[in-house]
Amino acid sequence: MHLAMIGVGKLGHDCAEVLAGHHSVIGYDVVERNPKRFKMAPELRSAVEGAEYLFVAVPTPHEPGYGGEMPSSQLKPKDFDYSILEGLCQELAKLVTTEQTVVIISTVLPGVIRSRVAPLFASSQVLYNPYLIAMGSIAWDMRNPEMLIIGTADGEETDRSRGLLQIYEPFLENKPRRVSGTWEEAEAVKIFYNTFISAKISLVNMILDVAEKCGHMNVDIVTDALKDSTQRIMGPRYMCAGMGDAGACHPRDNIALRHLALRLGLGYDLFEAIMSSREGQAENMARRLMQLASAASLPIVIHGKAYKPLVPYVDGSYSLLVAHYVNRLGGVVEYVDPMTGDSRTTLGPAVFLLAHNAAITYLNTGVNPGLPQFYCEIPAGSVILDPWRTIPAMPGVRVVHYGNTRSLRAS
């Protein structure tokens, strides 16, 4: 098929690369891009001409300060900013024919497609098709989706929605379930999927806090028992206590859902509780760092600044949130992360927070495979605060498994 990807940024670029392996794809963006497997159109009109399906992957951002890398639960709940999406769709409406299909994949709240996008087109030509993908693994997630979500005006399958499934069929490596619903149902599946993960992480990190404060507990004993309870509790993913939820999607999705709860008059705000718990857990971790640093008279270094390993993005980074509370408590933080260009400016021992789990070989050096691979040297006399509880004992280095208080701590 002949496809167009409108918006070739962090999401659209990799998605278009996968599509281009099996279809004719042309991209368009207001920023100059240099894709490998498809060509860019110099203007929107030339991208639209001849395309059977037009995928819209433009950002729906929040205002600065709402990303999750700083406390935000105290801020006024706000919706996403749809101005880029609306402006683009207004331009598309002048160019598309009724035979062309517009596929929105940008994240929006329930009701946005029907109220802000669909009135610009024939309702039958608009599909809402959000992806469940993560930065750093977009191509794999495209080929192995947990489900394919397609929203139509009335929730019924159409020739256009069936055609969309045919676009994906050639490169799917698994057999994902297909979820069809109204635009609102598809919008809700996407955003509640994300916030369900946020709630799950907040819950397991609450257990970590209980282990720290109660004593004589290894959080992994509890979370392992819960994640293996498949009769009533769903699945093992995101059941390892450690760093909090992060990234460009999950924290801000909870903020947008706070806005939705207020607008719909639900009478309660579960999402504020999720955000508040995330921030409280980060503050508890900061206090533990400060305690270790004070006891050993050492500086604090956070091992991993990006919100996850192997990506350069700091949107919603939990490391930045922890550092915020360290700063508030009077401490100073350095970062080490090759993907963000951060390296130590001081030498010698330090208290290292393993925001990125070094027990997994993120740096594929080929040296001592299976052993911890750190972003920098860990000098003798250092302390490692390991919220993943996977780093073994190291000569000359004190390793503290955050969340395991079965044995009495020295400090």
Contact 102, 119 (CB under 8 A): no
Label residue 407 by pLDDT band (50, 70, 90): low
Question: What integer best gives the mean pLDDT of the chain?
Answer: 92
pTM for the full predicted model: 0.82
Domain ranges of the chain: 2-184, 192-272, 281-401
DSSP letter assigned to residue 118: G
Strand ranges (E), 76-232: 101-104, 126-128, 147-152, 177-182
Count of alpha carbons within 13 angstroms of residue 161, beta-carbon side:
24
Q: Answer yes or no: are the C-beta atoms of 308 and 247 closer than 8 Å.
A: yes
126-128 sheet: strands from edge to edge: 39-40, 24-28, 2-6, 53-56, 101-104, 126-128, 147-152, 177-182
2-184 and 192-272 share one fold:
no
The whole-angstrom separation of Cα 357 and Cα 85 is: 37
* CATH label, 2-184, candidates 3.40.50.300, 3.40.50.740, 1.10.10.10, 3.40.50.720: 3.40.50.720
d(CA 303, CA 227): 27
Short-list 192, 186, 193, CA closest to 164: 186
Contact partners, residue 115, CB within 8 Å, separation at least 6: none
Task: Report the CATH architecture of 192-272.
Answer: Orthogonal Bundle (1.10)
Averaged pLDDT for residues 345-368: 77
Please write the tens of the pLDDT for every residue from 134-172: 888 999 999 999 999 999 999 999 999 999 999 999 999
- Measured between alpha carbons, how far is 181 from 216 in angstroms, rounded to an integer? 48
Q: Which of 132-146, 155-169, 234-248, 270-284 has the lowest mean pLDDT?
A: 234-248
Residue 108: strand, helix, or coil = coil
Q: Which fold has domain 281-401?
A: Rossmann fold (3.40.50)
